[in-house]
Structure 1
């Protein structure tokens, strides 16, 4: 008999955030069971060194590497990753890891019942796998489990430098067209209009929050009704690395959220307990999935840009839209960095490069001899 998981939450975090963290931890535990016992100390180290999402990513990469050792090399006699020994790991050379990253990972195949699937990793994905393996090998060496630190011999992986012109975002007039589409239904198919009539206030609130605050997709999905304190004019979001942040609530956002809650959102009696506090609900009265929000954004941005649904933008492009719009309205890159939670101001500077005619505007508004030129 399957038992339903119940979490005794003693923190001030909402249940959905605690449940999300628990799901990450449970997945880490499952992967740990598949990996060799000699890595146990490394798993303990990860628990305290990185956030759970990073911990999971590292463990998935390491499991992938161990499966590669078993199925594609003669570096181990093990039939499953669990049986790989520390002595076999100690015999792995930098060249072996470089072949894994540079040759195997860049393009590999998986057989299913009916198909052969081809997978490719770009340099960013390869760099993450390299980082995961570097952390593991460095730890095992530092922990005196292997005799050499082979990570200095790992080949560099060049990442393309982000270019301002490559940043995709909506122009100001396209944002207006997007919000007009969600208001009027113009540009939607007849089938889409059936759902639009039931969800237009919800969709409008989602889009306004995205373009106002540049929220990440997960940050928006996890919003609750209890996240908002309308009397104080603020709401709480949970960012990467477990950060809790209070955001000021402007009049536009307050209006669209209240309209959605008071007019369109289902009453609590018809909602299951686990979804009662969720701000954005699906038609089935469940917290919206990440995929549903992505599709919603893609639909309305495609209308704004007058392109096909397939070419619509992701929520991250609305984050870029928010950043460039704020900078064009005159806010400093440091203010925008703070609002969007960029780790490094150089990320924000990429959006600042979109500010049109910035040099001309600066010089035009900085005349020393105004009286003479008049």
Structure 2
């Protein structure tokens, strides 16, 4: 391989196989490296072996400041871009394309930690009740969908990706098979409320929806009998939240609430990690900050010796 484009595609093909990255993540990496290539072209650098550490440092700095031709990136996007560049250089060294990794000492930008927003249990219940308001098949489907998302901590994409055969409603052992990032699978238990909502949907609503289509294995169907899309699922949540009077609800809000409520109730963080499908417990530990803040607030409010 001689051209930067060939070497970039070789790296992307490698991480696609070795790391099992999703299509969206690979597309983001390709955009990141294309921006890097444009930066190198502006400096008349045509191959990896000619790149210096200073080049990589200048590129990392430019990500935050932007240029006349490219807008500055948010900290998370800038950090991901530097990670992609470092990975490419590390791979190039392993392949023998270069003799040194000039990106090794260039660190990604620190990302300000944003604590996830969690709803109260009362707010969650209000949203679930609002989702089931009305007659027909759609309210039963909407309630079942949101009960599954909150009851399992599933991502919206994982929930709409469920097939009928991925769900077991056996008494005492109900569960769903979720497929997460990188096609990683995990089995998550289903609680009583989710089971009841799914049974009502499957028995009374799914068949009428399926009659409008040509037959689909999907669990959650749209009005045309096809698989419910992520956008439609997000709309279902948004409408239910508006009806319930709960502001600022995002597709991940129920997932955040699932994790926070488990940890607040005393669940072990590693169990929550498995339920969420996080590769690292570090990702899950952000929720412990939320529960610690809650504990501190309760202590400060109610302990007689907390305030002077």
* TM-score category (smaller protein): 0.7 to 0.9
Normalising by structure 1, what TM-score?
Answer: 0.68
Structure 1 residue runs without a partner (length 5+): 1-33, 77-84, 111-117, 186-195, 365-374
Matched, 1:280 2:251: no
Higher relative contact order (CA 8 A, sep 6+): 2
Match runs of 1:321-340 below 5 Å: 321-340=257-276
Q: Is the CA contact (8 Å cut-off) linking 2:21 and 2:181 kept in structure 1?
A: no
**What is aligned with 1:304?**
244
Match runs of 1:208-227 below 5 Å: 208-227=147-166
Matched, 1:89 2:31: no
Q: Is the CA contact (8 Å cut-off) linking 2:131 and 2:236 kept in structure 1?
A: no
How many pairs are equivalent? 292
Distance in 1 between residues matched to 2:71 and 2:8, nearest whole Å: 27
Pick from 226, 238, 241: which aligns with 2:182? 241
Distance in 1 between residues matched to 2:63 and 2:296, nearest whole Å: 46
Matched, 1:168 2:107: no
Normalising by structure 2, what TM-score?
Answer: 0.81
Matched, 1:200 2:139: yes
Distance in 1 between residues matched to 2:218 and 2:68, nearest whole Å: 40
Distance in 2 between residues matched to 1:159 and 1:224, nearest whole Å: 37
Summarize deviations over 1:24-81 as a string: whole Å, max 9, x none.
Answer: xxxxxxxxxx9622445434532432113244443332233224444xx1425xxxxx
Q: Which has the larger radius of gyration?
A: 1
C-alpha distance 299-67 of structure 1, shift in aligned 2 (>3 A): farther
Pick from 266, 284, 290: which aligns with 2:230? 290
Q: Secondary structure at the match of 2:104?
A: helix
Matched, 1:148 2:117: no
C-alpha distance 150-269 of structure 1, shift in aligned 2 (>3 A): same
Match runs of 1:100-111 below 5 Å: 100-104=59-63, 106-107=65-66
Q: Is the CA contact (8 Å cut-off) linking 2:136 and 2:205 kept in structure 1?
A: no
Distance in 2 between residues matched to 1:355 and 1:45, nearest whole Å: 44
Q: Is the CA contact (8 Å cut-off) linking 1:324 and 1:354 kept in structure 2?
A: no
Pick from 124, 132, 141: which aligns with 1:183? 132
Structure 2 residue runs without a partner (length 5+): 304-308
Q: Secondary structure at the match of 1:160?
A: coil
**What is aligned with 1:254?**
195
Q: What is the CA RMSD across the aligned residues, in angstroms? A: 3.1
Matched, 1:138 2:90: yes
Distance in 1 between residues matched to 2:68 and 2:142, nearest whole Å: 39
C-alpha distance 109-323 of structure 1, shift in aligned 2 (>3 A): farther
The farther-off stretch of 150-159 and 250-259 is 150-159
Deviation at 1:316, TM superposition (A): 1.0
